[in-house]
Structure 1
């Protein structure tokens, strides 16, 4: 019997090849989109969950309360890690992780390694990064020891064994011994690096006493808690701990930190710190889209199957006359549904494997190396195909098996008002989802355009930034390239807009005449920085070589800093006193606020002053003509003056725009999945149009005989469906507004959700529906009425 079911199912699919292709394609596209989203969501949720001790690893973060604000730090003071392990038996181990960019050399091979990690000796005991060579307990114990990834080891040592060999670090060429080789870190970790250096190099050799430093908030700090430790209970003990070790200093500088524990697995998506690069809202949105697409695919399947019910009616009648019972017919049609879903499953696997490289590129990360990378993932997809086959096949099977043999053999095969209402409801649901996705896509791209077109308050065009890593000859390099014909201006600094900055404990005279304590962002710049970037002054003046005191006794604030000091106007802040990092002097100018971060963050209080030994970035304003030759000339000067370092540069506009790449990728993914959802919805609408046309075959024939034109017939058949699309629009608008309003909340500066967005989406949905319906309606309108009447 089962063999007979499948035999009939395949025969029926082959007889109606076009219908079968559309039906299978709808399911395949829906399941493929859902599977790709599943891979993406699974990857995003998997960050740092691969560590064997992940459940016991916590990151320590700090909220620092000052007289003016509360600062959210990615890590506590340098001293917290070592002292926490001393004071709390609940802590099994600690490690600090500090990211850096360093020059590495081995013979003639030299690279400026970005994202180098400095870590304490327990690093490899806490985390699950696998050492291929070396001892995890001792690899980072001694100063000037380094662990290389497989890739880095091959880069510097080729096929030779790197263990025990020496590699030179920093521009001073300090020797570091290779004590380990680790497997390349996976993509889904916050601590991704090719090189890990011993933290004791810093704390014992370069900055002795750093382990007792309570005022400098620098590295990430991770704790491995002993099994059974209650993290919340431990966190409650931290205030007394800080008071014990740093109470007097906190009261003196009026900066009061509060320590919190974040479980490692939650850091990427759920932390409110700037360092967390994931977006939980995006994960939620894509999960909802995946469910929507799968629902649309199932609805499409039901509509297409019931649209063909009339063609199967006589078959059902004959089978019932021959003795088939309702249960047998239902099993037959559910079996056909399962066959379609299993074929769609096989096609889904092949299509996913084909699209995965492009999807990885679109997502901006290696979500999965291949479809068989994790074979266990295929099982839930197979299960989903079976469930879809059962759920989507139950209603069509029930409808088809319920036909009365006498009526269907006479040609009366209407399925009743309930069936029609269900089909209309399903189409409304499909287009409500599709319209909501259209609205979401328009809003995402409107926000991207808004951020790109927003006035930033400085000029980033044709600015080339060369990283000298604070080489001693940086000044000579600047003087040399300043004489090049296509170089308009140059400047030395420690920061550029869109890049990093220092945070400085500051005391600045406020409107009451008191020295107000604040932790302010700080840019170290030279005399030419403000004019090169065309930063506008709100009051006072920029740095000038005409004033000798500007190099060590002057500071410039932005308008946001002036506001927290209580001054009604920028002019009132000029000449006021300041103390910052051992420097004292006066405010000489107030610059207008400019976006030195992305538009996702509000403009924060910023200060600028000079500190010549901290300059490492050279900003070069170049003539846009003959850029290639200009870069070559600058590189030649660099290699002549700074020969021990590789030439590294970028253009600021491209660098600044990198901050929006995550949102751009989100927008592209959103657009692609919206298009797929609309495509599947159109197939569903086509199915319902086909069903309705068949039901009204006789009516259409009579109307044509009575003189109805083609346009009359198209209007007759389209009017009902357009009503459904309009209803779906009114359902989609509030749903889309709610979710996109939540998404936009992550941006400090965001585009308004204007009425035209909803109108545009409604018109687009209506046009898509009209085009889809018109295809089937036109076929019915131009059909021979004699044939139409003969079918009855």
Structure 2
């Protein structure tokens, strides 16, 4: 019996090649989108699960209140670690301090590379359950040891055994390779950590780090913990949250609390508000999950629409089958078998489409390294269930609808589908275009928000600038000589050094006092130490006062404030005013227009610029305009090699670093636009099929109208107006829905664009145009047909 079902199904597919193509291709695109989104969601949800202690690992976060605003961040003070170890030993299985994932120069012989790595206490590798290929996971208890990833080991040593070999870090310290561990997967927060080096060595080499061991207000480090049980996070957070305030003065240091952030929430729930988790990438998981469901639903709607639209064509077949004894159950099985066959073909095509798009398109767009897990039985179980579900959902309505026809009426020719028979198809078309128009509006708003932030005045000229990290001691103490040699190349306009790049503020400080300051206020300022030529190099704009200058010996005790800092101080005539900080009196000599150094979607941070050459660690070079960039870089590289011979010439373009601030939003926008295009494609395929069927169904009517004098335009409008009505209804539903959803999304950005009326107009007009373009081919073809042939078909 089943074999007969398949034969009949294949025969029907061959007899209706156009409809078969639309069904199979439309379904395959919908299933491919759902599969891609499913793999993306799985990758997001499985972030950091490569660590065996995933459920009990966490990071200590700090919540501070300054300038009336509460913020939560990862930076903590070193003494907090010892406090937790000593006073709460039963609550923590392990506690480990760590630095940030810094860039370092690592070398073995002539092989020199710039790689990111971390200073960590010996417990962290065990907490992360690194998969050791060679050596001992506990090796960092020896301050002279280093643990490398497998990939870094290969590029440093090739086929040589790396164990016990000496590598040189930042041209000053040798470390013995004591272990090699398997590279962490791309969906791990520690994926970019290419090596781990001992914390004790960090304390010995860096005096400021050593001094920080007793400084409770120096938040410059990370702290990771492992609990005994996964459900202990809230209980222990409540127990330890006030630990910092036992060592801080609320009047001078502000209010501070700590909390434990579980590893299982690092990636998806990383945004905080008032000291509590408020969201994060989990919103994108829900968003794309809903989009994937709707895109697949659109493909299923096409199948149902086209199947029910052709029901009259198969009505006699149903009548004959019932007349010779077929039961309704058998007819339902027949039509469901046809549906499942189509879905199976679509699934095979969908797998091919996914396999082709993952490495060449989707992974690059989504910044992922996803592959189809062909060897995973769970994957195949999900796929089979997914295919059966889609087949049953897609084929259920036509199966039950067609099998309900009365054989007597069908065979006597008195069967009529009724005036409401097309109502379900109309509703489904409205649903299709509601989803499509909503996606179009959403995509436009996302890109509009990105452009709005990109067009924000940044306060400096980022074109033609490169930044170089001062990773090695050779680059320190030669400012004037390095600057003069670079300018002599003819490729450099200017050079400066600073403690932060123009695309970030690395230090925030409190403890400032000035005339008229509220004694109860504890303002927080960003601090950037710069050289004399910083302003001339970045082309910042002096609003009042003057820039730093070699002509003034007192500039080492002078400050330049941005507009946000002046607003925070409330000073009416700030030039010449004195600010007390770090037991010194500083004179305000200038005000610069706000520089967008951090998020372009957030308000500008109050920032103070001062001169302290002991703090600088970033070199900023402005290339001379008019010269090819490659030629300029070729001229300045030998200069850096001369001053820093043991390191590769690594640099970053400032405009590219600034562009990275938009990556997350741009990625969402591009993915949403791709899904919107595919949703429209699937909807148009369905419209094309329905228009084709309607034109075929109304062949005689069109012939009679042409004989009576109807023009091609009259016939085109006759066949098109029903579809236009449905699309207009979709627009009326989609517009307020999209406005509500996107208004909520824009609330996440303090610096945001408005939702303009023209977005809805353009989206609606675009949907109508696409509908007309899709329907017009069939409508005009039918209108141009010879009426004689149409009327002879009786």
| TM over 0.5, shorter chain | yes
2:588 maps to what in 1? Answer: 587
3-state SS, counterpart of residue 495 of structure 2: strand
- Asked if 1 retains the 8 angstrom alpha-carbon contact of 2:217 and 2:253, the reply is no
Give, in angstroms, the shift of residue 25 of structure 1: 0.3
Write out aligned runs for 1:61-80 (5 A): 61-66=61-66, 69-80=69-80
Query: Which residue number corresponds to residue 493 of structure 1?
Result: 498
Instruction: Answer whether contact 2:505 2:598 (CA < 8 A) is retained.
Output: no
Distance 2:772 2:684 in 1: 10
1:610 is matched with 611
Q: Structure 1 residues 325 and 370, CA, compared in 2 at 3 Å: closer, same or farther?
A: closer
The change in CA–CA distance for 1:515 and 1:293 in structure 2 (over 3 A counts) is closer
Pairing 1:537–2:527 present:
no
- C-alpha distance in structure 2 between counterparts of 1:229 and 1:443, whole Å: 40
Q: Deviations over 1:286-342 (max 9, x none)?
A: 111101101101111101112222222222222222222222112111110011011
Per-residue CA shift, 1:656-707, capped at 9, x if unaligned? 1122122222222111111100000011222332343344333223222222
Query: How many aligned positions are there?
Result: 782
Task: Look up the match of 2:560.
Answer: 556
Asked if structure 1 preserves the Cα contact closer than 8 Å seen for 2:241 and 2:259, the reply is no
Distance, in Å, in 2 between the alignment partners of 1:233 and 1:585 is: 46
Task: Note the alpha carbon deviations across 1:9-38, whole angstroms, 9 max, x for none.
Answer: 112112222221111000000000111011
Aligned partners of 2:459 and 2:541 also within 8 Å = yes
Partner of 1:733: 735
Change (3 A) 1:123 1:176: same
Shift of 1:278: 6.0
Separation (CA, whole Å) in 1 of partners of 2:712 and 2:447: 40
The separation in 2 between residues aligned to 1:11 and 1:729, in whole angstroms, is 39
Q: CA deviation at 1:146?
A: 0.9
- Deviation at 1:270? 0.8
Of residues 125-134 and 34-43 in structure 1, the stretch that sits farther from structure 2 once superposed is 125-134
Deviates more, 1:191-200 or 1:312-321: 312-321
Distance 1:576 1:717, change over 3 A: same
Aligned match of 1:48: 48
* Counterpart among 497, 507, 513 of residue 508 in structure 1: 513
Query: Distance between the aligned counterparts of 2:60 and 2:350, measured in 1?
Result: 44
Q: Given the superposition, is the C-alpha separation of residues 497 and 710 from structure 1 closer, same or farther in structure 2, using an over 3 Å criterion? A: same
2:271 corresponds to: 272
Shift of 1:61: 0.4
Instruction: Please state how far the C-alpha of 1:513 moved relative to its aligned partner.
Output: 8.1
Stretches of structure 1 lacking an aligned partner (at least 5 in a row): none
The Cα of 1:455 is off from its aligned counterpart by 1.6
1:468 and 1:204 map into 2 onto residues whose CA distance is 20
Q: What are the residue-to-residue correspondences of 1:659-678 with 2, within 5 Å? A: 659-678=661-680
Q: Name 2:168's counterpart in structure 1.
A: 168
**Any idea what the Cα deviations from partners look like across 1:23-74, whole Å, max 9, x if unmatched?**
1000000000111011112212221123222111121101123465434321
Once the two structures are overlaid, the 10-residue window that deviates more, 384-393 or 412-421, is 412-421
- CA shift at 1:509, angstroms? 0.7
The more displaced of 508-517 and 343-352 is 508-517
- Specify the SS of the correspondent of 1:95: strand
Counterpart of 2:747?
A: 745
Please give the alpha-carbon distance, in whole angstroms, between the structure 2 residues aligned to 1:255 and 1:373. 55
CA distance in 2 between counterparts of 1:218 and 1:273 reads: 19
Judge conservation of contact 1:68–1:564 (CA < 8 Å) in 2.
no
Deviation at 1:473, TM superposition (A): 5.2
Contact 2:269 2:279 in 1 (8 A): no
1:612 aligned counterpart, secondary structure = coil
Distance 1:565 1:14 in 2: 79
Q: Report the CA distance shift for 1:429/1:343 in structure 2 as closer, same or farther (over 3 A).
A: same
How far apart are the structure 2 equivalents of 1:512 and 1:329?
84
Deviation at 1:584, TM superposition (A): 3.6
**Matches of 2:488 and 2:13 in 1, distance apart?**
77
- Displacement of 1:377 after TM fit? 2.1
CA distance in 2, matches of 1:593, 1:437: 36
CA deviations 1:515-572 (Å, max 9, x no partner) are 9643321111111111222222232222121211102x111111212222233x3x23
CA contact (8 A) 1:48 1:190 kept: yes
C-alpha distance 392-436 of structure 1, shift in aligned 2 (>3 A): same
Partners of 1:143 and 1:191 in 2: how far apart?
21
Choose which of 438, 445, 454 in structure 2 pairs with 1:443.
445
| Contact 1:474–1:616 (CA under 8 A) maintained in structure 2 | no
* Distance apart, 1:354 and its partner CA: 1.1
Give the Å deviation of 1:95: 1.6
Aligned to 2:3: 3
CA deviations over 1:404-450 (Å, ceiling 9, x no partner): 33433355554223431111000000000001111111112212222
Give the superposition deviation at 1:583. 4.7
What's the counterpart of residue 368 of structure 1? Answer: 370
Decide which moves more: 230-239 or 290-299: 230-239
The residue that corresponds to 1:596 in the other structure is 597
Return the offset for 1:176.
0.9
Asked whether the equivalents of residues 414 and 695 of structure 1 are also in contact (C-alpha less than 8 Å), the reply is no
Alpha-carbon distance between aligned partners in 2 of 1:633 and 1:584, rounded to the nearest angstrom: 43
1 CA distance for matches of 2:319 and 2:311?
A: 12
Q: Secondary structure at the match of 1:572?
A: coil
Structure-2-length-normalised TM-score: 0.94
Separation in structure 1 between the aligned mates of residue 69 and residue 772 of structure 2, nearest angstrom: 56
Answer yes or no: is 1:758 the counterpart of 2:760. Answer: yes
Q: Tell me the distance in 2 between the aligned counterparts of 1:584 and 1:315.
A: 96
In the other structure, the counterpart of 2:103 is 101
Cα distance in structure 2, aligned partners of 1:382 and 1:363 = 28
Query: 2:142 maps to which residue?
Result: 142
**Deviates most, 715-724 or 127-136:** 127-136
Matches within 5 A, 1:236-275: 236-244=238-246, 246=247, 249-251=248-250, 253-272=252-271
Greater Cα shift, 484-493 or 32-41? 484-493
Using the TM superposition, name which of 320-329 and 747-756 deviates more. 320-329
Any idea what SS the aligned residue of 2:540 has?
coil
CA distance in 2, matches of 1:228, 1:638: 50
The correspondence of residues 299-314 of structure 1 with structure 2, limited to 5 A, is 299-314=301-316
C-alpha separation in 1, matches of 2:375 and 2:75? 35
Q: Which moved more, 1:13-22 or 1:330-339?
A: 13-22
Using the alignment, how far apart are the partners of 1:436 and 1:335 within structure 2? 34
Counterpart Cα distance in 2 of 1:492 and 1:118: 25
Which secondary structure state, in structure 1, belongs to the residue aligned with residue 271 of structure 2?
A: coil
For the Cα contact (< 8 Å) 2:119–2:198, is it kept in 1?
yes
**What is residue 203 of structure 1 aligned with on the other side?**
203
Whether contact under 8 Å (2:19, 2:689) holds in the other structure is no
Change (3 A) 1:453 1:133: same
Cα 1:397–1:559, aligned 2, differ >3 Å: closer, same or farther? Answer: same
Contact 2:462-2:655 within 8 A present in 1 as well: yes
Alpha-carbon distance, 1:362 to partner: 3.4
What is the distance in 2 between the residues matched to 1:531 and 1:77? 36
SS at match of 2:421: helix
**SS of corresponding position for 1:270:** coil
583-592 or 294-303: bigger deviation: 583-592
| Residues 619-698 of structure 1: pairs in structure 2 closer than 5 A | 619-627=620-628, 628-698=630-700
Residue 116 (structure 1) aligns with = 117
User: Could you say if the C-alpha distance between residues 71 and 106 of structure 1 is closer, same or farther in structure 2, counting changes exceeding 3 Å?
Assistant: same
Aligned equivalents of 1:500 and 1:177: distance in 2?
A: 34
Cα distance in 2 for residues equivalent to 1:574 and 1:765? 61
The alignment partner of 1:461 has SS state of: coil
Check 1:474–1:265 CA distance in 2 against 1; reply closer, same or farther (3 A cut). farther
What is the match of residue 523 of structure 1?
528
Aligned pair 1:452/2:454, yes or no?
A: yes
The secondary structure found in structure 2 opposite 1:268 is: coil
- Indicate if the aligned counterparts of 1:90 and 1:229 stay in contact, CA closer than 8 A: no
| Structure 1 counterpart of 2:782 | 780
The 1:685/1:262 distance shift into structure 2, 3 A limit, reads same
TM (norm. structure 1) is: 0.94
